[in-house]
């Protein structure tokens, strides 16, 4: 028997819950009556509970007989066992429980969040975060996604406060010194989607989408930052009702910004919670990247109202059905809302992140066995989200968007208010398309890795071959290596779209590369071939030298995603040792005229990676190379926006200034930044919101102690969540050792919220000037961080070790994790260590050649 799965002999159908949180004592009391179906005459009922005291449990069984239970809590298993003197008669029964708990500060379960009101006074509110397995910290319940039930929630609160839950308020009455708020019944749904928020909350004027009122909620004083989030919330909800062909399943929709929030946002039905940066924004003062972030997160959570909330995966191994779909739908909705943002081109960056992790031997298939809660937590990674969404995009393009949508609609209709598995989705898509979906799709979901498609000209043929892509020749051997690294068949059915240019004409051909190799005749007047036409495929392409040269000679004829993939795949092939690093650097010289921000982000990303592994002596030369590549593009764009210029170009300007002023260490850019920022502060210059964040980063990179204190104050007194983030991350960029030390100290002393601190440390670990002190600090403070940070914190922070790309640091990283027997859940740590190995291998293999190449700068 799996100790992490509850027996299915007593099944909940309805919960009537009353909770009484006390924000002064930071505790809560609760009572619940759970209607259950007793399937067999059992003497014991097992449900989930953790860090709760259960004062009383009484059952009424199928024959109406009442019994008190003996309650035993098993904290390790996160369960409570109720035992009865007499076996329960089958039929419909009721369970009544009274319990108590604390409003914790770990941002999980029922927790407290602290913030300053506009007068600077510290205030407390209460909120919930239940996914994946923390509903059991707020109430005893059958805390598995397949135990769907109806929830009726009542919150008894301080009359000065406001309460929000998943549904509309039915009544509000005063009882003694409490205000008692009763909410309408929810739809039949999973426990992890329940939410309660209690505090001094403000909300916007509701918008209406059909019959659904939609509002944004925040702590007092921030309502002026709600309009943009509300706008995309309305637009995306409309979009989804239309796409899914089903009405929004709730009776109202509230979006709530919570000052302390572990994840980015959470799709509680009707009461979506967000960290403030992901919902509240000043549209006039924000950069394109900051606005896109808000639009993305809002659209993503709204997409979940159907994918996740209405139809839910049966178990956590299928979480991709939630998260990959929400991510895919987020792109569709944002793209429909702001076509000028070219959201699918920017998605290349996400796809690239998935290709990176999935190129490791320690990767995992998208669907992967899950038992314990920490394994469920480890599923929320780039493979679930970004690989999953990439694979869906590839399938959508392969089947055609209309056919794909029809399959999705059928799937949702067939499984609404219930649970589903990947096979159910395949069945619906198979019906809609008439295609053998499992044959095409199973390897993408159930096997690890992805193909490298090699394209070459041999004689009078174009030859395509597939093999699994891997950065390292063999799996990493290390002390914690799990069962033999994930091996797949190494063969996929790859939907390849070829664009062949011959005699000045383009022809697009779709082929399903199902065999190790296929051949196509070379047409007369052959000029060039693009293998991943349109760029939607989840695979890499390696062109032979001749074909690559032809493409580099005609870059302007390629789409932005195609140029993105060309650079990204060339870099990956270089890191894997299949192309000399110096050839890659030569290739980057062909992109000085590039104007797409995403293509630039791959180029800049590779320069950052190189900066982490070149010797200190070569670093100034790498800076010169960066200036050589980037400066012409900025010179062409200029420092001030042209009238009518789109937001992508404006964002690119900011990105280039930042790169030149930091990685390029460009003295001229740094000097100009000082002047411009000073003028901006004095109000004598208006700086584009896309440029301002870059100026802050450049000033920090070249800044001294005075500037550090100035920026720390700006962080503390920021007027928007985005401004707060800009100044917070700027603190990581100051290069003097004592300033690095100050920032590190602030990650554990309460000055930086625990929701942000792990990410700040991760950033420091990835920066050459800070990584060694940061690593020393992490080693010393590991236990403290483990105690302070929310549960995903250490996992996110530890990703920074990838930046410790020297053989000595790598050895030390292994030593530390081995001694401490660190487990970050799933394959997380293995993947970080393998990425570190990949970087050090590149250094060892190509270091001398790189050094010789850089000598010319």
Residues 767-796 binding ligand BES (CB under 6 A) are none
Residue 106 binds ligand BES, judged by CB under 6 A: no
Asked if residue 97 lies in contact with residue 34, where contact means CB atoms within 8 angstroms, the answer is: yes
User: In whole angstroms, how far apart are CA 778 and each of 583, 605, 703, 735?
Assistant: 37, 25, 25, 18
Kindly tell me which of 136 and 629 has the beta carbon lying closer to ligand BES. 136
Of 213, 220, 245, 264, the residue at the interface with ligand BES (CB under 6 A) is 264
CB under 5 to 8 A by kind: which of ligand BES, Zn ion, none does 266 bind? ligand BES
Kindly tell me which of 295 and 585 has the beta carbon lying closer to ligand BES. 295
Catalytic site residue 301? Answer: yes
Choose the stretch contacting ligand BES; rule: CB under 6 A; options: 153-161, 293-301, 622-630, 818-826.
293-301
Q: How far is the CB of 267 from ligand BES (least distance, A)?
A: 5
Residue 629 binds ligand BES, judged by CB under 6 A: no
- Strand positions, DSSP E, 335-474: 418-420, 451-458, 461-468
User: In whole angstroms, how far apart are CA 511 and each of 262, 483, 508, 514, 517?
Assistant: 44, 36, 10, 9, 12
Q: How far is the CB of 308 from Zn ion (least distance, A)?
A: 7
Q: How far is the CB of 299 from ligand BES (least distance, A)?
A: 8
Residue 301 binds ligand BES, judged by CB under 6 A: yes
Residue 194 binds ligand BES, judged by CB under 6 A: no
Counting beta carbons within 10 angstroms of the beta carbon of residue 404, is it exposed (0 to 12), middle (13 to 18) or buried (19 or more)?
buried
How many residues of this chain interact with Zn ion, rule: CB under 5 A? 2
Counting beta carbons within 10 angstroms of the beta carbon of residue 853, is it exposed (0 to 12), middle (13 to 18) or buried (19 or more)?
buried
Longest dimension (CA), the chain: 89
Choose the stretch contacting Zn ion; rule: CB under 5 A; options: 324-332, 393-401, 432-440, 515-523.
324-332
Would you call 855 helix, strand, or coil by DSSP?
coil
How many residues of this chain interact with ligand BES, rule: CB under 6 A? 16
Residue 297 binds ligand BES, judged by CB under 6 A: yes
Contact mark string toward ligand BES, 377..396, x via CB under 6 A? ---x----x-----------
Q: How far apart are CA 393 and CA 558, in angstroms?
A: 20
Residue 323 binds ligand BES, judged by CB under 6 A: yes
Kindly tell me which of 300 and 540 has the beta carbon lying closer to ligand BES. 300
Kindly tell me which of 322 and 501 has the beta carbon lying closer to Zn ion. 322
Residue 132 binds ligand BES, judged by CB under 6 A: yes
Q: Select from 334, 331, 333, 311 the least CA-distant residue to 322.
A: 311
Q: How far is the CB of 304 from Zn ion (least distance, A)?
A: 6
Of 11, 89, 169, 263, the residue at the interface with ligand BES (CB under 6 A) is 263
Q: How far is the CB of 378 from ligand BES (least distance, A)?
A: 10
Q: How far apart are CA 486 and CA 360, in angstroms?
A: 10
Kindly tell me which of 385 and 471 has the beta carbon lying closer to ligand BES. 385
CB under 5 to 8 A by kind: which of Zn ion, ligand BES, none does 263 bind? ligand BES
Of 138, 326, 355, 833, the residue at the interface with Zn ion (CB under 5 A) is 326
Q: Select from 834, 829, 824 the least CA-distant residue to 377.
A: 824
Q: Select from 751, 720, 723, 746 the least CA-distant residue to 734.
A: 746
Choose the stretch contacting Zn ion; rule: CB under 5 A; options: 142-150, 322-330, 475-483, 798-806.
322-330
CB under 5 to 8 A by kind: which of ligand BES, Zn ion, none does 623 bind? none
Residue 265 binds ligand BES, judged by CB under 6 A: yes
- Within 8 A by CB and 6+ apart from 682, the residues are none
Q: Could you tell me the strand order of the sheet in which 162-165 lies? A: 109-116, 122-129, 196-199, 162-165
Residue 310 binds Zn ion, judged by CB under 5 A: no
Q: What kind and span of H or E run contains 509?
A: strand 505-513
Choose the stretch contacting Zn ion; rule: CB under 5 A; options: 195-203, 320-328, 537-545, 715-723.
320-328
Q: Which residue has the tokens 């409570």?
A: 80
Q: Select from 371, 384, 450 the least CA-distant residue to 422.
A: 384
Of 300, 563, 771, 827, the residue at the interface with ligand BES (CB under 6 A) is 300
The closest residue (CB) to ligand BES is 264
What are the residue ranges of helices labelled H in 358-421? Answer: 373-378, 382, 388-399, 401-415
Contact mark string toward ligand BES, 668..707, x via CB under 6 A? ----------------------------------------
Could you tell me how far CA 394 lies from the centroid of its own chain? 20
What are the residue ranges of helices labelled H in 614-666? Answer: 619-637, 647-661
Could you tell me how far CA 99 lies from the centroid of its own chain? 34
Annotated catalytic residue, options 301, 323, 375, 830: 301
Kindly tell me which of 388 and 664 has the beta carbon lying closer to ligand BES. 388
Residue 304 binds ligand BES, judged by CB under 6 A: yes
Kindly tell me which of 376 and 778 has the beta carbon lying closer to ligand BES. 376
Residue 323 binds Zn ion, judged by CB under 5 A: yes
Look up residue 316 and give its DSSP letter: G
Asked if residue 559 lies in contact with residue 825, where contact means CB atoms within 8 angstroms, the answer is: no
C-alpha dihedral sign at 838, 844, 849, 855: positive
Kindly tell me which of 385 and 584 has the beta carbon lying closer to ligand BES. 385
Q: How far is the CB of 263 from Zn ion (least distance, A)?
A: 9
User: In whole angstroms, how far apart are CA 595 and each of 289, 345, 511, 656?
Assistant: 16, 13, 31, 10
Kindly tell me which of 281 and 840 has the beta carbon lying closer to ligand BES. 281
Residue 424 binds ligand BES, judged by CB under 6 A: no
- Within 8 A by CB and 6+ apart from 608, the residues are 663
Residue 391 binds Zn ion, judged by CB under 5 A: no
Choose the stretch contacting Zn ion; rule: CB under 5 A; options: 233-241, 326-334, 473-481, 727-735.
326-334
Asked if residue 238 lies in contact with residue 337, where contact means CB atoms within 8 angstroms, the answer is: no
Q: Is the peptide bond before 132 cis (omega within 30 degrees of 0)?
A: yes
Residue 51 binds ligand BES, judged by CB under 6 A: no
Rg (CA), the chain: 28
Choose the stretch contacting ligand BES; rule: CB under 6 A; options: 63-71, 298-306, 358-366, 420-428.
298-306
Q: How far apart are CA 226 and CA 222, in angstroms?
A: 7
CB under 5 to 8 A by kind: which of ligand BES, Zn ion, none does 233 bind? none
Q: How far is the CB of 303 from ligand BES (least distance, A)?
A: 9
Q: What kind and span of H or E run contains 696?
A: helix 692-701
Asked if residue 732 lies in contact with residue 743, where contact means CB atoms within 8 angstroms, the answer is: yes
CB under 5 to 8 A by kind: which of ligand BES, Zn ion, none does 380 bind? ligand BES
Q: How far is the CB of 780 from ligand BES (least distance, A)?
A: 28
Q: Select from 141, 106, 113 the least CA-distant residue to 33.
A: 141
Would you call 19 helix, strand, or coil by DSSP?
strand
- Please report how many Cα atoms fall inside a 13 Å half-sphere around the Cα of residue 602, on the Cβ side: 34
Q: Select from 612, 538, 598 the least CA-distant residue to 382.
A: 538
Residue 531 binds Zn ion, judged by CB under 5 A: no
Token pair listed for 219: 């702590």
Would you call 157 helix, strand, or coil by DSSP?
strand
CB under 5 to 8 A by kind: which of ligand BES, Zn ion, none does 297 bind? ligand BES
Kindly tell me which of 319 and 695 has the beta carbon lying closer to Zn ion. 319
Of 31, 51, 78, 131, the residue at the interface with ligand BES (CB under 6 A) is 131
Give me the residues that bind Zn ion (CB under 5 A), please. Answer: 323, 326
Residues belonging to the active site = 301
- Kindly list the residues in this chain that would bind ligand BES in the complex (CB under 6 A): 131-132, 263-267, 296-297, 300-301, 304, 323, 326, 380, 385
């Amino acid at each position: 028997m799996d100790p992490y799965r509850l027996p299915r002999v007593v099944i909940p159908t309805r919960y009537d819950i009353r909770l009484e949180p006390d924000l002064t004592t930071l505790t809560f009391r609760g009572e619940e009556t759970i209607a259950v179906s007793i399937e067999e005459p059992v003497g014991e009922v097992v449900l989930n509970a953790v860090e709760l005291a259960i004062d009383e449990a009484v059952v009424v069984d199928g024959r109406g007989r009442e019994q008190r239970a003996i309650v035993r809590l098993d904290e390790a298993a996160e369960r409570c066992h109720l035992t009865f003197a007499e076996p329960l008669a089958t039929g419909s029964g009721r369970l009544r429980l009274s319990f108590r708990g604390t409003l914790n500060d770990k941002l999980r379960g029922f927790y407290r969040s602290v913030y300053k009101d506009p007068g600077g006074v510290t205030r407390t509110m209460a909120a919930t975060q239940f996914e994946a397995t923390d509903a059991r910290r707020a109430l005893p319940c059958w805390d598995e996604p397949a135990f769907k039930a109806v929830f009726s929630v009542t919150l008894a609160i301080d009359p000065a406060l406001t309460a929000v839950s998943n549904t509309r308020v039915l009544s509000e009455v005063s009882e003694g010194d409490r205000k008692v708020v009763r909410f309408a019944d929810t739809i039949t749904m999973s426990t992890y989607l329940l939410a309660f928020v209690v505090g001094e909350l403000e909300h916007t004027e509701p918008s209406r989408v059909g019959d659904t009122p939609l509002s944004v909620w925040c702590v007092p004083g921030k309502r002026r930052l709600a309009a943009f989030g509300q706008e995309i919330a309305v637009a995306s909800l409309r979009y989804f009702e239309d796409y899914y062909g089903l009405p929004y399943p709730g009776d109202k929709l509230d979006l709530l910004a919570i000052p302390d929030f572990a994840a980015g946002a959470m799709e509680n039905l009707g009461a979506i919670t967000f960290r403030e940066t992901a919902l509240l924004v000043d549209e006039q003062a924000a950069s394109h990247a900051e606005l896109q972030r808000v639009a993305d997160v809002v659209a993503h959570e709204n997409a979940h109202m159907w994918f996740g909330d209405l139809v839910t995966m049966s178990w956590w191994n299928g979480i991709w059905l939630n998260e990959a779909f929400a991510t895919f739908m987020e792109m569709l909705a944002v793209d429909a809302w702001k076509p000028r943002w070219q959201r699918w081109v920017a998605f290349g960056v996400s796809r690239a992140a998935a290709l990176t992790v999935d190129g490791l031997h320690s990767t995992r298939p998208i669907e992967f066995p899950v038992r314990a809660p920490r394994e469920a937590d480890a599923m929320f990674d780039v493979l679930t989200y970004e690989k999953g969404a990439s694979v869906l995009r590839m399938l959508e393009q392969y089947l055609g968007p209309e056919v794909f949508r029809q399959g999705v609609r059928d799937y949702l209709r067939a499984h609404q208010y219930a649970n589903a598995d990947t096979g159910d989705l395949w069945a619906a898509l198979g019906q809609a398309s008439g295609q053998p979906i499992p044959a095409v799709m199973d390897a993408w979901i159930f096997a690890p890795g992805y193909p490298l498609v090699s394209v070459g000209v041999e004689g009078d043929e174009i030859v395509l071959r597939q093999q699994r892509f891997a950065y390292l020749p063999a799996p990493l051997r290390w002390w914690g290596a799990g069962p033999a690294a994930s091996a797949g068949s190494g063969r996929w059915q790859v939907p390849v779209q070829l664009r062949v240019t011959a005699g000045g004409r383009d022809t697009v051909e779709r082929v399903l590369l199902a065999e190790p190799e296929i051949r196509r005749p070379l047409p007369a007047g052959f000029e060039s071939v693009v293998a991943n036409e349109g760029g939607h495929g989840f695979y890499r392409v390696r062109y032979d030298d001749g074909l690559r040269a032809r493409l580099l000679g005609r870059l302007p004829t390629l789409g932005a995603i195609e140029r993105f993939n060309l650079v990204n795949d060339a870099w990956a092939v270089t890191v894997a040792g299949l192309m000399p690093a110096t050839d890659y650097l030569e290739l980057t010289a062909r992109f000085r005229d590039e104007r797409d921000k995403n293509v630039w982000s791959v180029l800049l990303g590779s320069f950052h990676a190189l900066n982490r592994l070149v010797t200190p002596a070569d670093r100034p030369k790498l800076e010169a190379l960066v200036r050589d590549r980037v400066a012409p593009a900025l010179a062409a764009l200029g420092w001030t926006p042209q009238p009518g210029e789109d937001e992508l170009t404006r964002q690119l300007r900011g990105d280039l200034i930042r790169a030149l002023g930091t990685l390029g260490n460009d003295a001229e850019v740094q000097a100009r930044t000082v002047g411009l920022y000073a003028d901006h502060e004095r109000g004598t210059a208006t700086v584009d919101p896309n440029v301002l964040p870059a100026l802050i980063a450049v000033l920090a990179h070249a800044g001294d102690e005075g500037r550090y204190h100035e920026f720390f104050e700006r962080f503390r007194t920021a007027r928007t969540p985005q401004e707060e983030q800009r100044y917070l991350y700027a603190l990581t960029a100051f290069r003097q050792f004592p300033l690095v030390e100050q920032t590190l100290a602030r990650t554990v002393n309460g000055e930086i919220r625990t929701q942000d601190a792990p990410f700040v440390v991760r950033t420091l670990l990835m920066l050459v000037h800070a990584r060694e002190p940061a690593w020393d600090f992490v080693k010393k403070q590991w236990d403290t961080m483990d105690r302070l940070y929310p549960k995903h914190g250490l996992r996110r922070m530890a990703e920074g070790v990838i930046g410790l790309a020297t053989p000595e640091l790598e050895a030390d990283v292994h030593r530390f994790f081995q001694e401490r027997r660190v487990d970050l859940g799933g394959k997380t740590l293995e993947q970080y260590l393998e990425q570190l190995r990949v970087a050090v291998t590149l250094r060892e293999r190509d270091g001398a050649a790189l050094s010789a190449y850089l000598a010319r700068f």
